Amino acid sequence: MRINLATWGNSLHSGEKTYPIVAQRKRWFAFSAILLIACLGLLLGKGLTPGIDFTGGTQMRVSAPGEASGQPARDVLVDVVPDLAPQVTVVGDGDVRIRLGVMTTDEVRAATAELAAAYDVPEESVSFTQIGPTWGAEVGAKAIQALVVFLLLVAAVMAVYFRAWRMAAAALAALLHDLLFTVGIYALVGFEVTPAAVIGFLTILGYSLYDTVVVFDKVRENTANLTTQVRYTYAELANLAINQTLVRSINTSVVALLPVSAILFIGSLLLGAGTLQDIALALFVGMAVGTYSSIFVATPLEVAFRRNETKIREHTAKVLALRESGESDVAVTEDGQVRVGALAPGGHLGTAAQPKRKRRK
């Protein structure tokens, strides 16, 4: 069956077609909870792999021509630094990356000479980077500080802009949801957490926040005159806002994910640009889950926060009472869609009678 995206988008925006996302919020909350519990299990069980920028240590890189193997590096480093367990990774076709603990100057020189001999390359082809543990701890503290400051600023700006702390709380919950899921994927894959990865985390938080703000802005627009009408409840108008921005969220995500996918799958995995894989993975996972959270987590959670407000509760009860009595021309179909029209027996949507037009003589 052929789907006309333009017609579909117009139907969603006009309210002719809606998906009961808010009404099924318990389902989305349960799904997200399962994912987050799995991510927490990965973090507590497997843990993250911090790069030397956070832990301190030495990273050596051998640019060897042709197809390189990590075994020669393991063989020679056992004799040079027997107390350090090297982590050897082949990057691309010809580069070998070795990660070790902190080494002395003599150990670095000996390792450089042995690696050059093992791979039959000049010593200039063996580079190294060494970071002390104090510097690594400082970088880690700065990264955590940047994240905390970002979240505090987000909470303040959201509360001021929307004049509602519940929207700020729902947006923060969605951001933490995205961050925890992305970090959990990092633990699962085993990629090193580098400063580039931290930049990626902050970037996807900004992307997710932007998507959430767009939906919340539409919610505020739809509910501005909530109590002056008795057709729709707050939850239904919020659900309409999600549907009205659904196509925009999908289109924006697809456009953003295409270049990131090229960096991750083609540039990093196929071409061996290993320096890009950390930030590319953070962006890819974060953008995808950020789109999900802005639709299925943020707004349904905001509705859950506000459903017990006196004004919202009384208005919802009034709307539902009018529908129950048959005085309202709005009904909810069996599949959860809100429709305008006369009510048939049993509370389902019927066909509204059209007034007869007088013929002009």
Fold match flag (5-50+135-311 vs 57-131): no
Which residues fall within 8 angstroms of residue 180, CB to CB, at 6 or more apart?
36, 39, 40
- Separation CA 252–CA 248 (nearest Å): 6
Quick: pLDDT tens for 98-133: 888 778 888 888 888 888 888 888 888 888 887 766
Report pLDDT for 329.
61
Report pLDDT for 359.
45
Determine which of 12-16, 70-74, 265-269 has the lowest per-residue pLDDT on average. Answer: 265-269
User: In this model, does residue 299 exceed pLDDT 70?
Assistant: yes
User: In this model, does residue 298 exceed pLDDT 90?
Assistant: yes
Given the candidates 3.30.70.3400, 3.40.190.10, 3.10.580.10, 3.40.720.10, the CATH classification of the domain at 57-131 is: 3.30.70.3400
Q: Residue 339 CA to chain centroid, in angstroms?
A: 33
Q: Provide, rounded to the nearest whole percent, the portion of the chain with pLDDT above 90.
A: 21
Section 184-208 average pLDDT? 83
- Read off the pLDDT band of 268 (50, 70, 90): low
Report pLDDT for 269.
58
Residue 347 or 147, more confident: 147
Radius of gyration of the chain (CA): 28
- Separation CA 4–CA 92 (nearest Å): 42
Section 70-86 average pLDDT? 79
Class of domain 5-50+135-311: mainly alpha
Quick: pLDDT tens for 3-60: 566 677 777 777 778 889 999 999 999 999 999 999 999 999 888 888 777 777 788 8
CA dist 73 to 77, 78, 80, 114, 159, Å? 6, 9, 11, 9, 55
Token reading at 118: 């093992």
Report pLDDT for 335.
56
Token reading at 43: 């973090």
User: In this model, does residue 191 exceed pLDDT 90?
Assistant: no
Section 82-94 average pLDDT? 72
Report pLDDT for 200.
84
Q: Name which of 281, 288, 287 is nearest 267 in CA terms.
A: 281
Quick: pLDDT tens for 309-319: 899 999 999 98
Which string of b and e fits 70-85 if b means at least 16 CB within 10 Å? bebbeebbeebbeebe
Question: Look-up: residue for tokens 């539409």?
Answer: 218
Most confident of 186-195, 262-271, 285-294: 285-294
- Read off the pLDDT band of 194 (50, 70, 90): confident
Section 283-295 average pLDDT? 90
Alpha-helical segments (H) within 23-124: 25-45, 52-55, 71-80, 105-119
Report pLDDT for 26.
93
Report pLDDT for 92.
61
Residue 288 or 207, more confident: 288
What does the domain layout of the chain look like in residue ranges? 5-50+135-311, 57-131
Cβ-based burial of 212 (10 A; exposed 0-12, middle 13-18, buried ≥19): buried
